Structure 1
Amino acid sequence: MAYTYSLQAMKDLENEADIKQLVDTFYDHVNHDALLSPVFNEIAQVDWEHHLPVMYNFWSSVLFGTMAYKGQPFPKHLRLPVTGEHFDKWIALFKATVDALFSGKKAEEAKQKAQSIARIFQMKMGLLPYV
């Protein structure tokens, strides 16, 4: 007897509901990560009820051009005691989250933008040389 499997293609990031799913899932992973959770919860003492909607707006602005995000993300990160290892873990979790939930042009763009943002932050923090 032959078995047939139907693999349902994952959809791309298309709307605000997708952004919310991505952000919520990603930060759930962050909150369970031994390296990143202390930075967010003990050092930065993130107020998740406030932070998550800001991140929805940030990623909506980055990926869909909504201009919903108003702010400057870098200064908030400058004071944190993070290393390249923290950025590597953040990127790995972000990319894994995108890959687990979405597939397509916007999903790839989200991963590329996250990688670029992390690189810029690391350069500004002196963790990577400017190139």
Structure 2
Amino acid sequence: MTTLTDIKNIEDIKLMVDTFYSKVQKDEFIGPIFNEKIANRWPEHLEKMYRFWQTILLEVHSYSGSPFPPHKQLPIAKEHFDRWMEIFTETVDLLFIGVVADEAKLRARNMAEMFNYKIDYFRNAEKNNSKH
């Protein structure tokens, strides 16, 4: 039995991201959405995710950009975010324990809630605009 440790470096980030997205790709509910959108660009997506989480959790500023826009037009709803969060939490809990691991789950939850809210907001705005 391996004793779990906290997320400490880029290798830990890569392990978390790779494990998480390998589960996502195989997931019957959200896998098809990711696989269709990302297609054969998984290596680039994973690289971007390494930089994103490294910036958020380790304060190594290697990510720049805005994470929301690529998600705005996806055919997703709250239940997709719930499943994403379930897989993310399972992954982090399987691999790590500690303050940074808890921070990863908190940041993921906040991001999922914000993305879901913003997607709903944009959809409602588009519906209202099309009525006029």
Partner amino acid, structure 2, of 1:9: T
For 2:51, the equivalent position in structure 1 comes to 57
> Counterpart in 2 of 1:123?
117
1:31 alignment counterpart: 25
Distance 2:95 2:112 in 1: 21
Which residue number corresponds to residue 69 of structure 1?
Answer: 63
The residue that corresponds to 2:75 in the other structure is: 81
Corresponding residue SS for 1:73 = coil
Query: Where is the helix percentage greater, Structure 1 or Structure 2?
Result: 2
Asked if 1 retains the 8 angstrom alpha-carbon contact of 2:38 and 2:45, the reply is no
The C-alpha deviation readout for 1:21-58, integer Å capped at 9, x for no partner, is 00000000001100111101124436101110100000
Instruction: Pick which of 22-31 and 33-42 moved more.
Output: 33-42
Aligned-residue identity in percent: 43
Q: Are residue 110 (structure 1) and residue 104 (structure 2) matched?
A: yes
Deviates more, 1:34-43 or 1:12-21: 34-43
CA distance in 2, matches of 1:99, 1:61: 20
List gaps (5 residues or longer) in structure 1.
Answer: 1-6
**Structure 2 residue runs without a partner (length 5+):** 122-132
CA contact (8 A) 1:40 1:46 kept: no
Per mean C-alpha deviation after superposition, the further-off stretch among 23-32 and 46-55 is 46-55
Matched, 1:93 2:82: no
Instruction: Decide whether the 8 Å contact of 1:91 with 1:118 is kept in 2.
Output: yes
**Deviations along 1:46-72, whole A, 9 cap, x unmatched?**
610111010000000111111111111
CA RMSD between the two structures: 1.3
TM-score norm. by structure 2 comes to: 0.87
